[in-house]
Structure 1
Amino acid sequence: MITDPVRDDPPPHPSPGTGPALSDKGLRTGSVGLAASVALGLSSVAPAYSIAVTLGFVTLVAGDFAPAALLLGFVPILLTAFAFRELNREMPDCGTTFVWNTRTFGPFAGWLAGGWVVQCATVIAMTALSQVGSTYLLDFLGLHSLADDSLAVTVTAAVVLALVTAVAYRGIQLAAVVQYLLLGLQLIALAGFGIAAFARDGAAAPSLSWLNPFGFDGTGAFSEAVLLCLYIYWGWDALITVNEETTDKSRIPGQAAVISTLVLLATYLFTAFAAISFAGTGTEGLGLGSADNASDVLATLGSPVVGESFAKVVELAVCVSAISALLTCVVGSSRATLSMSAHGALPKSFARVHPRFRTPTTGTVFFGAAAAATLAALTLLSEDFLGDAILCIGLLIAFYYGVTGLACAWHFRRTLRDSTRNLLLRGVLPVVGGLMMLAAFTRSAYDMFDPDYGYTSLGGVGGVFILGIGTILLGAAAALFARTRYPGFFRDGRRTVTEVTVTDE
């Protein structure tokens, strides 16, 4: 564990011309620009990993209309991004959803929907990312026997988590530089794969009919395909947690959120069109309609499309995709809990900031350790249990995105008539996005209740449902307990989140 002294008094603000100022919470302001914000947002989604492990399953459900599912799944994401942008303009706090939902719906909703659910989803995602990144890393190094050994993968994942935690601990500027390199490799690999797939003899010409939203075989297939796509866009909002360290915290994070989601859409559609053009959606051979190819499309098509040598680059891209997302998860989560602590909703230790690196000390180390411990515990319990935990992330995503979309419209309700812009961007679009997310949540919960959904079940109820809904119910109980520990926040939270109550102690 990295240990460093923590100041007991608030850091002084530097005089003009001596460097970037420090925020009220002790973070270094002005250290992240638009490009770095976009890079952090894209990296947190892990685009190479996400499209590799999702496109096949979407194609199993949607066939040639997989690109349409990617496009439709993007709609509520974009509408949610507008909500995040507008809320950040009004309340640029690194606590993001915690602060926004507290201001709008009260401390209980803020602590549960904006804090607990977000952080639980992130920790579970970190277990999946560390496991996948470690497996790919061992395969890339030629250690195939170790890649098939759960103990070796878990140990490697713990080492990877320690390394990304150390990078996050050293500062946001170092993390941004690392993300530039890792993101660049991902985008180059996906672009190379796509260009090569289109150029191969026998590749079909892409068709705009693949974007037809009415081509699905029933509403069930439509809903399932779109729900699958929600997961591959999730994570871009992590960039907003560094809003207090950007050059213009009320404007840049919102711009970066919209830009990053649009770049993701373009990347995913390009890769999907290329893969379908080359392999088709049949159930034989390399066809994307084969269940044998669904778990990793890039691994299946890599060698046939780009050859053995470049296929290793694609494999490395998926590896670094997962690892770069891990890094952004640690960066974002530590700042979210810093805000919660600074506003009196968590122990004061989470508000500690390193005197030189200007990063949250306790929060950074905590999330790295929490992910490692969660992965070890779930692996020891059962690989199936770990699989169900990963599947329940979509439920948690839809829940907190939906609540935040509605929070945007309700918070700005008195200004919606001031202009057409306000009505659309602060009212109509966030409400539509929020309702779509909550509809996805409801449909997901219904599907997950089936004992055949996922890998485990208990008492005739699907394990994914138990873990997803159980996490939310456990969060409600935790919020009730937190009310007894932090009565000031739960009594005056709507007012106190407008000011910092704890600074670097």
Structure 2
Amino acid sequence: MTLESQDTSAGPRSGTTPDPTDKGLRRGSVGLLGVVALGLSSTAPAYSIAVTLGLVTMTVGDLAPAALLIGFVPILFTAFAFRELNREMPDCGTTFVWNTRAFGPWTGWLVGSWVPTVASLFAMTALAQVSATYLLSVLGLDGLAGDDVAVTATGLLLLAAATLLARRGLQLATGIQYALLGLQLVALFGLGLAALTRPGAATPSLSWLDPFAFDGPGPFAESVLLCLFIYWGWDALITVNEESEDADRVPGRAVLISTSVLLVTYLFTTFAAVAHAGTGTGGVGLGNPDNATDFLAALAPPLLGDALATVVQLAVCVSALAAMLTCLVGSGRGWLSMTTHGAMPAVFARIHPRHRTPTVGTVFFGAATAVTLVVLKTASPRFLGDAILCVGLLIACYYGATAFACVWHFRHRLRDSVRDLLLKGVLPALGGLMMLAALARSAYDTIAPDYGSTSFHGIGGVFLLGVGAVACGVLVVLLVRAAFPRFFREGKDSVAPPASTGSTRNES
């Protein structure tokens, strides 16, 4: 069904605040496969593995597959929390709505909205730069790829294009994601097969998955934290829950499918890379510091030849571009939900009359990303690097809070069945505790002055940016509280589960 063939008569068109159960989005416009594609694309698999695997290998050697597997555990447990909460409250506000319902408006606004928004902003600046750099390289403009001004300008153009696509509609964005995701998976699996079948490659060993072989808790924790970044982003697919078929079930299934596909893709690529290149510190070895932030650039040319290596470069480029597109799709919808619940200005509830997308929110987030990129880049490239590194703190913060929100919201139902006890209680609680531990470890590591590129009075710039972002959020919430007092008085009760297809209980 095309965008034009669906009924566009329902739903708000102006800045008036719509009904939270009918925000004007195009219902039933994307199926399970489309939601899975959005979830996979939002993690930027080719980009994420390219820039992280070398760092993981430098930390734990050939135990990189074990780190990926263990890092997946808290992600999986948290995914169960997202699935169960979405079944109860299929709202495109996701973490904002769920944390508000469980813990109140302050937590909902600060941890459920501000923290993931800042994390997305910082990540988007990196994605814009990466997609621009790789695009210029693919086009043979290596001189421009090394020029900060050219890269920033190209990144802004790509960001503008992604914003226009996100504004056009979910079906168009999803269709493009199929092509972009397909290129990434073909490139990663093709490179992996070439690596495994190349004469001289080592035979993959199950010992590389041994979780008890790490050399102490320090390398173990550091590598797992790095792996959390590789998996981060799948939750963006939940923001299209009100536009998906069977809204209270399809997004939850898509969460588990997309995270499982990521695990398989990353493990296969890692096993193949370690088998072929090894973990040495010279040549194409994954332990070589020169390859740490892009092992694909080192492995692809000798394995595939220059022509196919260019395809791998293009895959990383479109990986970052696809993640940008999904972030834009999700952020506008999150702000739309906040507006319908009375927590943001009514202008963010404006829906495009034809495309049925949150126009103002989508364009505003694109513009905010552009401003953030220019400001950080103008201040110093070092600030931009530290801003990206602090994303781990923010991820662990809101993932953990959402996992605990699941346990608290369903606390009166945990005795109803073994399934409820496990999937709504035990596993989300374990996921939340693991995220809390990751947050503590990340804070401990980043507070060191030599962590990252900047420091202030002996405290690492990465820590200051992460904590500073949360502290700034507290000030923002104080201002929002003054502007929207009704939400902060009644938000926990008014952000009630929308009418879902399943039975819904009113928890307090």
Q: TM-score, normalised by structure 2?
A: 0.94
User: Could you say what secondary structure the match of 2:200 adopts?
Assistant: coil
User: Could you say what secondary structure the match of 2:415 adopts?
Assistant: helix
1:242 Cα shift?
0.2
1:13 Cα shift?
6.6
**Matched residue, 1:277:** 275
1:429 to 406, 420, 427: 427
1:480 Cα shift?
1.3
- Structure 1 residues 333, 13: CA separation in 2 closer, same or farther (over 3 Å shift)? closer
**Matched residue, 1:255:** 253
Matching residue's letter, 1:114: G
1:12 Cα shift?
2.6
Q: Deviations over 1:429-479 (max 9, x none)?
A: 000000100110011001111000000001110000000011111111111
1:404 to 397, 402, 405: 402
Whether the 8 Å CA contact 2:404–2:432 is kept in 1: the answer is: yes
2:370 to 369, 372, 384: 372
**Matched residue, 1:323:** 321
2:159 to 153, 158, 161: 161
Q: Distance in 2 between matches of 1:344 and 1:309?
A: 54
**Matched residue, 2:503:** none
Whether the 8 Å CA contact 2:24–2:356 is kept in 1: the answer is: yes
Matching residue's letter, 2:109: W
Q: Distance in 2 between matches of 1:202 and 1:78?
A: 35
Q: Distance in 1 between matches of 2:291 and 2:169?
A: 40
Matched, 1:381 2:379: yes
Divergent runs of 4+, >2 A: 10-14
1:244 Cα shift?
0.2
Q: Deviations over 1:232-257 (max 9, x none)?
A: 10000000000000011100000000
1:181 to 166, 179, 198: 179
2:467 to 455, 463, 469: 469
Q: Deviations over 1:236-283 (max 9, x none)?
A: 000000000001110000000010000000000000000000000011
Q: Distance in 1 between matches of 2:164 and 2:130?
A: 20
Matched, 1:343 2:365: no
Whether the 8 Å CA contact 1:68–1:212 is kept in 2: the answer is: yes
Q: Distance in 2 between matches of 1:240 and 1:77?
A: 15
2:209 to 190, 201, 211: 211
Matches within 5 A, 1:49-88: 49-88=47-86
Q: Distance in 1 between matches of 2:323 and 2:226?
A: 19
**Matched residue, 1:142:** 140
Matches within 5 A, 1:124-143: 124-143=122-141
**Matched residue, 1:6:** none
Whether the 8 Å CA contact 1:57–1:295 is kept in 2: the answer is: yes
Matching residue's letter, 2:382: D
Q: Distance in 1 between matches of 2:203 and 2:306?
A: 25
- Structure 1 residues 496, 11: CA separation in 2 closer, same or farther (over 3 Å shift)? farther
Whether the 8 Å CA contact 2:88–2:497 is kept in 1: the answer is: no
Whether the 8 Å CA contact 1:23–1:29 is kept in 2: the answer is: no
Matching residue's letter, 2:254: A
Q: Distance in 2 between matches of 1:153 and 1:367?
A: 20
**Matched residue, 2:15:** none
Whether the 8 Å CA contact 1:343–1:499 is kept in 2: the answer is: no
Q: Deviations over 1:279-299 (max 9, x none)?
A: 000112111111111110101
2:417 to 410, 416, 419: 419
Matching residue's letter, 1:397: I
Structure 2 runs not aligned, ≥5 long: 1-7, 13-19, 499-508
**Matched residue, 1:306:** 304
Whether the 8 Å CA contact 2:10–2:24 is kept in 1: the answer is: no
1:125 Cα shift?
0.6
Q: Deviations over 1:73-120 (max 9, x none)?
A: 000000000000000000000000000000000000000000000111
Q: Distance in 2 between matches of 1:69 and 1:304?
A: 27
Matched, 1:100 2:98: yes
Matching residue's letter, 1:78: L
1:215 Cα shift?
1.1
Percent identity between matched residues is: 65
Q: Distance in 1 between matches of 2:449 and 2:338?
A: 37
Matching residue's letter, 2:10: P
Q: Distance in 2 between matches of 1:97 and 1:212?
A: 34
**Matched residue, 2:502:** none
Whether the 8 Å CA contact 2:106–2:477 is kept in 1: the answer is: yes
**Matched residue, 2:480:** 482
Q: Distance in 2 between matches of 1:304 and 1:198?
A: 14
Matching residue's letter, 1:337: W
User: Could you say what secondary structure the match of 2:496 adopts?
Assistant: coil
Q: Distance in 2 between matches of 1:344 and 1:144?
A: 49
Q: Distance in 1 between matches of 2:446 and 2:371?
A: 26
1:11 Cα shift?
4.9
- The count of residues paired between Structure 1 and Structure 2 equals 484
Q: Deviations over 1:395-414 (max 9, x none)?
A: 00000000000010010000
**Matched residue, 1:352:** 350
Q: Deviations over 1:8-30 (max 9, x none)?
A: xx95379xxxxxxx960000000
Matching residue's letter, 1:268: Y
**Matched residue, 2:194:** 196
2:37 to 36, 39, 50: 39
State the Cα RMSD in Å: 1.3
Q: Distance in 2 between matches of 1:310 and 1:367?
A: 35
Matching residue's letter, 1:433: G
Q: Deviations over 1:39-92 (max 9, x none)?
A: 000000000000000000000001010000000000000000000000000000
Whether the 8 Å CA contact 2:60–2:214 is kept in 1: the answer is: yes
Q: TM-score, normalised by structure 1?
A: 0.95
1:496 to 494, 498, 507: 494
Matching residue's letter, 2:225: L
1:498 Cα shift?
2.2
Structure 1 runs not aligned, ≥5 long: 1-9, 15-21, 501-505
Whether the 8 Å CA contact 2:92–2:239 is kept in 1: the answer is: yes
Matching residue's letter, 1:323: L
Matching residue's letter, 2:185: L
Q: Distance in 1 between matches of 2:471 and 2:57?
A: 34
Whether the 8 Å CA contact 1:112–1:479 is kept in 2: the answer is: yes
Whether the 8 Å CA contact 2:90–2:497 is kept in 1: the answer is: no
Q: Distance in 1 between matches of 2:334 and 2:40?
A: 19
